[in-house]
Amino acid sequence: MTPSPDWWRGAVIYQVYPRSFQDSDSDGVGDLPGITARLDHIASLGVDAVWISPFFKSPMADMGYDVSDYRDVDPMFGTLADFDALLARAHELGLKIIVDQVLSHTSDQHAWFKEGRTSRDNPRAGWYVWADPKPDGTAPNNWLSIFGGPAWEWDGTRMQYYMHSFLTSQPDLNLHNPEVQDELLDTVRFWLDRGVDGFRLDACNHYFHDARLRDNPPVKRSGAHDVPDSNPYGFQEHLYDKTQPENLLFLKRLRALLNEYPGTVAVGEVGDGDRSPATVGLYTSGGDTLHFCYTFDLFGPEFSGDHFRKTVGLFEKEAAEGWVCWAFSNHDVMRHVSRFTRDGDDPAAIAKLAILILVALRGTICLYQGEELALPEAELAFEDLRDPYGIRFWPAFKGRDGCRTPMPWQHDAAGGGFTTGTPWLPMSDAHRALAVDVQNDDPASVLAFYRTAISFRHAHPPLMLGDILFLPATDEILAFTRTHASGTMLCVFNLSREPRTWRLPHTLPLLTRHAFSCADAEISSDGVMLPPLGYLFAV
């Protein structure tokens, strides 16, 4: 049977952070053979695809998001042959592989940048964003780097500034240059020819800058979910340093390339503050741009019915013709069990309710390695940090290492079963107690619950593909229906720590048969009665 080209609609994706998943050679750093060895675990969850964070050749200033060669694997992670073996094994298990492609910038160690910075008239002189200083020698404008300080770095050879949206060692590519677009698309083709199933496009709304280099104005609205409050990057409205109209034409070129490889997909990461819903709508509508987009909008600490209604509802409105990928955790944010848990909560109960909300939402969903174990954020000392972002903003912001610590496979093994060497980040003792071997055969574990929840989603077309309609409720209750040609499913969640009753709207057809519910949940013609952190699905 030929796989559906729309396999990604409603799919469940599992994100692997290679440095921290499984080490196969005892150097303390995870690698591609390690991922291959653990693919059976991922397949046991019932997910459809694996997104692998960057493994390209890199000096690792930003842990691989600073690429120095798009067509090779960094020796830290293995070889191209190791990647081919991983891909083949994943496909044997029915898993698709999505590669994390970083096209907005490279490492300053990339051959393109090394050549381009030698003069203003070499063949790659226009491949990056270069600009003359102001008459007083200061930077061309007020743009800021997400990782702190100005988005401009002086180069004494060219006597110009170059733009970097992230680290100074991550110069931004100039996609206004057609040669740059052509070369980047050729690097994408390289991986398509190896058989990958798609790409997660890092910072995809950063591909273009305003050619006139206009200053960004001060922020007028709150809600920049992509940076901590302590970062001055959030003080600006980013009207000119990203999300430019030229980006749409490049995304269409990228989609046209993927169309040559049926069944492959492009998912764009969009961090655009309050503009994210509109940007996602623009980037995923029309059938000739991205297949779907991944957003930061559920990465905050809010865990309430009102927050989910407003956030998802806004995307339903602004991206009605497109498709969204929802997630609660990834390699850049505090793990959601720690964000959502209050004093006195059972973290396992929070983890179980959170995955049920995720599998009930309309869209594709993404899980981050370790969340199926209900791992909390790891506490690290400053001297253990490896993340330049955290080191720069410590102590107001502790960085991203707390969610990047090694995966615990065996609770009593050296290195937690992740490595027989010294792990690149410390293995958390709290994580050891939640290791895979502790939970794997326990039917009451969070790991078992994840498998059940994902299977439940796949078994019910309304959850995979149905429309979503939010129903009136208090802030503590989240209630909606998912409707498909095969039927309607009612989804109700109590996000409070007290029992709650939700009254059924008169307009709602009576759906009283439990499809899936917690203990002590009840439904009648009067309403749904739920215990604290309870849930009920009815048909």
DSSP class per residue in 452-481: HHHHHHHH-HHHHH-EEEE----TTEEEEE
8 Å CB contact between 360 and 323: no
The DSSP output letter for 219 is P
* Closest to 423 (Cα-Cα) out of 16, 55, 26, 18: 26
8 Å CB contact between 245 and 251: no
Q: Token pair of 106, please?
A: 């490279």
Integer angstrom CA distances of residue 324 from 51, 103, 298, 308, 311: 16, 21, 12, 14, 12
Q: Residue 487 and residue 466: Cα distance in Å, rounded?
A: 9
CA 338, 340, 342, 345: dihedral to nearest 10 degrees?
-90
User: Which positions ≥6 away from 414 have C-beta within 8 Å?
Assistant: 420
* Closest to 384 (Cα-Cα) out of 339, 428, 325, 447: 428
For 339, list phi and psi in degrees, rounded to 5.
Answer: -70, -35
Residues belonging to the active site: 202, 260
Own/partner long-range contacts of 347-355 (Cβ < 8 Å, ≥24 apart) = 347/374, 347/376, 348/374, 348/445, 348/446, 349/533, 350/303, 350/374, 350/533, 351/446, 351/449, 352/446, 352/449, 352/453, 353/493, 353/495, 353/533, 353/535, 354/303, 354/328, 355/449, 355/450, 355/453
Q: Residue 458 and residue 430: Cα distance in Å, rounded?
A: 32
Q: Token pair of 503, please?
A: 């009254």
In the chain, count H helices and then E strands.
Answer: 15, 21
